[in-house]
Structure 1
Amino acid sequence: MKTTILAFALTAACSFNVSAQTCLANGLETTPSEDFSVVTTSSYLHTPTDLVWKRCAEGQEWDGSTCEGEAVKYTWQEALQLAHEASNEDLLGWRLPNVKELASLVERDCVRPAINSAVFPATPPDDFWTSTPSADDPDRAWVVAFFNASHSIKEKDRYVYVRLVRTYTND
């Protein structure tokens, strides 16, 4: 009987959607939608920081209503190269954000993912690379975790998600 109850409990627990965002009902948003304005169909300006962000993680494409496809993970060196190539492709200055810049996107009232999902839909609830290397260990760099709004350092050879940023210009 105990085995049957345990098996049922495990099955029920596994059937819940673990990727659904959870937010505080009465919390004060840290990244309200009003802080963002459209630059292009696939990028938004975060007005408090004057930074333009790609709406989708690298590997995903904006389809007009959401980010489609699978986000791709890169090593830190690959992420830096990817940003360089994106910048050369359209000459807009895309780059890997530093830890403070990426942390400015964290929605502290939410988890799984800890980001404004109206502005940045389908964001993987996981680590994202920053350009900030560890001051103590040359083999590690900072990541921001959009699972729970934390940040930490990871080995540069690990595979982690990427979201590119650029400085806003009034062209």
Structure 2
Amino acid sequence: MKEMTRKAKAIAAAFGVILAAAPATTFAQLSTTANGPYYATPSWDQKLTTNRFVILANWNNEAVLDRETGVVWQRSPITFDNDLSYAAWTCHLASTGGRRGWRLPRAEELASLLEPDPITGMATLPAGHPFIGIHTNSGDFYWSATRSAQSANTVWVVSFSIGAGGPFLPYDRYLWCARGGQGVDTQ
């Protein structure tokens, strides 16, 4: 393992994790060494600039904890088109990392993964994020569990290419299952 700074070691020790070697321009990759706790209590009012994401090694590196929100994400979302009911069913049956209890995320949870790019102003996933296989082409949208307040027939989706989303009819989209956090939006 590459040499770590004292601050990084202190952070790692405080959260019961080890800090894996990572390029200086990316988030330091945290991974768990034992069963929790790996993080401070999440709070939506905090903004973590480093070590926000923890790859859960004891979940076969298949899941990532967002320490800012407390949501656990699949490390690799399902990137073949699914209609809404199939997407919800797929998350419900998922056993990512040997764990059940997955669900479609709320629109706010998906949007919380985005950060504004200081140059373009477009919201994107943070540089150095640990996720694999995220589709970021124009028109690539991910399902949420958030129903539109204007129409019961539409559901919010989020795009990681344009950093935005909106209510859409339940046609085929990608899905990214989540676990924990705030839960389903019953709007």
Indicate the percent of aligned positions where both proteins have the same amino acid. 27
Q: Is the 8 A contact 1:31 1:107 kept in 2?
A: no
Letter in 2 for 1:105: L
Task: Using structure 2 for the length normalisation, give the TM-score.
Answer: 0.59
What are the equivalent positions in structure 2 for 1:130-141 lying under 5 Å apart?
Answer: 130-141=144-155
For the residues of structure 2 that align with 1:33 and 1:112, how far apart are their CA atoms?
Answer: 20
1:98 to 91, 102, 106: 106
User: 1:90 and 1:99 mapped to 2: Cα distance?
Assistant: 25
Match of 1:47 in 2: 67
Once superposed, what is the RMSD of the aligned Cα atoms?
2.7
Where do 5+ consecutive residues of structure 2 fail to align?
1-46, 182-187
Partner in structure 2 of residue 120 of structure 1: 131
Q: How do 1:32-111 residues align onto structure 2 when only pairs under 5 Å count?
A: 32=49, 34-39=51-56, 40=59, 41-58=61-78, 71-86=79-94, 90-109=98-117
Contact kept in structure 1, 2:116 and 2:123, CA below 8 Å: no
Matched AA of 2:64: Y
1:160 alignment partner AA: R
**CA displacement at 1:143 relative to structure 2:** 0.5
Instruction: Return the letter of the residue paired with 1:162.
Output: L
Shift of 1:114: 2.1
Unaligned runs of 5+ in 1: 1-29, 59-70
Identify which of structures 1 and 2 has the higher relative contact order when contacts are C-alpha pairs closer than 8 Å and 6+ apart: 1
- Give the C-alpha shift of residue 107 in structure 1: 2.8
Larger displacement relative to structure 2 (40-49 or 83-92): 83-92
- Between 120-129 and 94-103, the greater mean CA deviation after superposition: 120-129
Greater Cα shift, 42-51 or 90-99: 90-99
Structure having the larger proportion of residues in helix? 1
Aligned residues: 126
Q: Does 1:146 align with 2:156?
A: no
Paired with 1:83 and 1:76, the residues of 2 have a C-alpha distance of 11
For residues 126-154 of structure 1, what are the alpha-carbon distances to aligned partners after superposition, in whole Å with 9 as ceiling and x for unaligned? 21100011122121100011111112011
Structure 2 contact 63–97 (Cα < 8 Å) conserved: no
Q: Which structure has the larger Rg over C-alpha atoms? A: 1
Q: For the residues of structure 1 that align with 2:48 and 2:173, how far apart are their CA atoms?
A: 23
Query: Which 4+ residue blocks in structure 1 deviate beyond 6 angstroms?
Result: 110-113
* TM-score, normalising length: structure 1: 0.64
CA distance in 2, matches of 1:100, 1:77: 20
